[in-house]
Structure 1
Amino acid sequence: MPQGKSASINARHPSASPGTEGWVGVGLRHPHYRDAIEGNNNAVDFLEVHAENFFAEGGILPSILEDVANQYAISLHSTSMGLGSASGINDGYLRRLSNLADRINPVLISDHASFAWSQYQGHDVHAGDLLPLEFSQTGLQVMIDNVDRVQQLLGRNILVENLSAYIDLGPGEFQETEFLSELAHRTACGLLLDLNNLLVNAHNFSQEPALTACMRWLDQIPRDIVGEIHLAGYTPAGEGKLIVDDHSQAVSEECWTLYRYAIQRFGPVITLIEWDNDLPKWDELLQQAQFAKQIIAEECTAIAIPGSIR
């Protein structure tokens, strides 16, 4: 790992490493492997990869990831763990994730507040999607049990990301913010705060302006549980149509505005630029990361000046 980019646990943000405050990274996808390996490794602070893409123990991909990890700190972001699955998490999946974490020594490990696994005729089956949870006592206990199991196996805390969902399950026993806050309190996991997911959900389901709804959501989250922020963009949809969280655009102006508000509230949290479809050139991704760094510097400077807190 690069000097100073260790994976030890920070007491304030349970899944962040000491010294990562203000770090900004980008998601590494296949078309950019060569750019990352041959480029300037000081241009970003870390790279995020989807863990499942590197579970294989042979072939070229593990070697590529090891080459990348020799130059950058790595965040492992999972999309298939299914932390909210009542049937539990597949043993084989967890074993492969643990082996990968041992090889790479990531600075962060994360997945989503969703379910994915079930049982059919005695076999584990995976839904192939991030399915929304019911925010109930039963759902919370399932999440607690699964997060505890994962953290015990990995020997470290993880981050749990708020979900973009396309079905409104209606009022539950908890608000989403209460559910995630209690999960963090009961397990010592951290929250991966995806601002684009918040905006997508607000546009699709909220009766008030999206930014207003998202800012109110952020106000209900304890300051000390946020371990990472994700920024992304989405393809606009026509009036009355669902917006899909497709990560196919640059970070939207609305998301940048919400990011400024989040930094004011939570401080210089480690941040990732997500872009998964219709990928831009590598340099454009790095420019987005630099803009995030600029916002962190501006907002944290403003907060430090007496009387400037907004």
Structure 2
Amino acid sequence: MPNLPLKNGISLKAQHYQGILTTLPDVGWLEIHPENYMSSGGLDHKYLREISQHYPISMHGVGMSLGSVNGVSNSHLQNLKKLVDTYQPIQVSEHIAWSEHQSTHLNDLLPLPYTNEALSVICENIDKVQATLNRTILVENPSTYIDFEHQDFSEPEFLSAIVKQTSCGLLLDINNIFVSASNNTFDPYEYLNNLPADPVGEVHLAGHSVVPLTEFKEIRIDDHSSEVSPQVWALYQHFIRINNRAFPTLVEWDTNIPSLEILVKESKKANKAMQYALQQSSSEATYDAK
């Protein structure tokens, strides 16, 4: 299966459909949430067909509930297969999370405890998805806000175990790592140092919000509502430097969505940061995202 271009990508938003077709911005690829296209026909499919003639497409799911002990929804999986067969995206990805229990669907991406039981559940679900789609998928690390009391693995260990058991790839969200590290007080640089880079087929960057809880404590919320923070740019550069290779990189901006021009400008910072990191030594590189 071909890989995404080693260049900046952006999420495809409905308000940008016409602007993309009119201006054909300088981005390497576009990413969609397949759930937005699971109805048949309509303007969304019209624009996606036209836009996919100009750009490679990646499908990034948010509703599969890979961590559900009840298994993934057959109807959702079949709808995804229909989309994949129709548009032949270069890549398909999902989240390491759960959002469905029995017949109740929760509109959120809820984290899993990193236990042997959870590992068995998610690997079984990933195997089913990959067998149905007849392709390898990528899975994304979550953003977390509290720690579970009992865990058998660190997050890098859990991700590595998933890859080993299912042969899936990883979608590494740097913003999620920073948000989780800030909220749960672990070292995000050590996290990246302990994560195998070979399975990583895509990197996500995004903005987040800081919300005060008390006079002395705050929490970071992964809301994709703003520019990428300097701390996340620094982590991204660190990941590039320690692995000395480029990765297809997407800037997510899902709330307070800016103009297409601003979104493309933000995504181009990833190209600049990546090239700078590749050119500099670990001790010298400091990227100023301006």
Q: Scaled by the length of structure 2, what TM-score is found?
A: 0.92
Contact 2:210 2:218 in 1 (8 A): no
Query: Which residue in the other structure is 2:179 paired with?
Result: 200
Amino acid of the structure 2 residue aligned with 1:277: T
Is 1:152 matched with 2:126? no
Aligned match of 2:44 in 56, 61, 69?
A: 61
Residue aligned with 2:17, SS = helix
Distance in 2, matches of 1:264 and 1:171, equals 33
Task: List gaps (5 residues or longer) in structure 2.
Answer: none
Aligned match of 1:263 in 228, 236, 240?
A: 240
Residue aligned with 2:227, SS = coil
Aligned match of 1:91 in 71, 74, 85?
A: 74
Give how far 1:125 is off: 2.9
Is 1:180 matched with 2:154? no
Residue aligned with 2:32, SS = strand
Q: 1:92 to 1:182 in 2, by over 3 A?
A: same
Distance in 2, matches of 1:114 and 1:133, equals 6
Alignment of 1:7-156 (within 5 A): 8-9=1-2, 16-17=3-4, 20=5, 22-41=6-25, 43-119=26-102, 124-156=103-135
Distance in 2, matches of 1:75 and 1:49, equals 6
Distance in 1, matches of 2:209 and 2:222, equals 8
Contact 1:55 1:96 in 2 (8 A): yes
Query: Which residue in the other structure is 1:300 paired with?
Result: 278
Contact 1:75 1:108 in 2 (8 A): yes
Query: Which residue in the other structure is 1:226 paired with?
Result: 200
Residue aligned with 1:237, SS = strand
Q: 1:295 to 1:241 in 2, by over 3 A?
A: closer
Q: What is the CA deviation profile of residues 206-246 of structure 1, one whole-angstrom value per residue up to 9, with x for unaligned ones?
A: 0x6xxxx1111011111211111100111222252322111
Contact 2:205 2:249 in 1 (8 A): yes
Give how far 1:177 is off: 0.8
Amino acid of the structure 1 residue aligned with 2:205: L
Q: What is the CA deviation profile of residues 169-196 of structure 1, one whole-angstrom value per residue up to 9, with x for unaligned ones?
A: 1340111110111101111111111011
Amino acid of the structure 2 residue aligned with 1:269: F
What stretches of structure 1 move > 6 A for 4+ residues in a row? 307-310
Distance in 2, matches of 1:66 and 1:88, equals 31
Contact 1:116 1:126 in 2 (8 A): yes
Give how far 1:254 is off: 0.9
Distance in 1, matches of 2:230 and 2:285, equals 22
Contact 2:94 2:138 in 1 (8 A): yes
